[in-house]
Amino acid sequence: MRVAGTLAVVTGASSGIGRAVAVRLAGAGCRLILVGRDEARLAEVARDTGGEVVVADLADSIAVAELAERLARDGAGPDVLVNNAGIGSIGPVAAQDGADLDRLLAVNLRAPVTLTRSVLPGMLERGRGHLVFVSSIAAILGVAGESSYAAVKAGLHVFAASVHAEVGSAGVGVSTIVPGVVDTEFFVRRGSPYTRRFPRPIRADRVADAVLRAVERDRAEVIVPAWLRVPVMVRSMAPNTYRRLAARWGGTS
């Protein structure tokens, strides 16, 4: 669907992929609702995009419920929802802190599920709209030291696929964006900077381009960068071979 003139909600819009997506959608003619925790940085994005700022911590179930209620009642509701907000976690699974896992589940899974449920009825009633879920290559391949993060993102990935199967024939598009390593503040915020020599991080702008193409071309899944399709296919067709290769070249990011 063409995005010019539509209303789009972008979560995690204050920085990284979310900010890049907001800028790209604004450039394509979208009106924006920018959701995030950092009011000052959201205001900067709003100045660049003309978007409306909504400050909300998606780890807070009450804040998510209030945001969901607002999106459901705001006129006809948004035409596009980009579920981008996410947090990371790193470390051995045996040492996983329960509070960290709860926060991962809240931000990376519960919030997008709740927001999707709030905007979907309006989209179905209008017979148009688009849902975007920003997943991770970790959700497909698994990454040592990121087991909980990968598992929660895998849950989001399958949720998106299930929603696509449910509403795809009703005029509502559903796209899952699967980025590899992206050059953002994500790794610093999770408490461990990215130090591996391979694969090298890509710019957030490339993910934003993938989001816009997915919406306008109704793409169900986009892996970015595209070469990551190769390990995905190897894992699917020869899982034992993939595990041996991953043990040799993979490890903790």
Question: CA triplet 26, 31, 36: central angle to 5 degrees?
Answer: 85
Residues near 157 by beta carbon (within 8 Å), at least 6 away in sequence: 133, 135, 139, 140, 176, 178
Written as six digits, the tokens of 124 are: 């179905």
- Point out the catalytic residue in the list 149, 186, 187, 242: 149
CA distance 122 to 68: 12
- Tell me, what amino acid is at 48? D
Cα 33 to chain center, whole Å?
Answer: 16
| Whether residue 242 lies in the annotated active site | no
Interior/surface letters 70-102, b for 16+ CB within 10 angstroms, e for the rest: ebbeeeebbbbbbbbbbbbbbbeeeeeeeebee
Q: Which residues form the catalytic set? A: 149
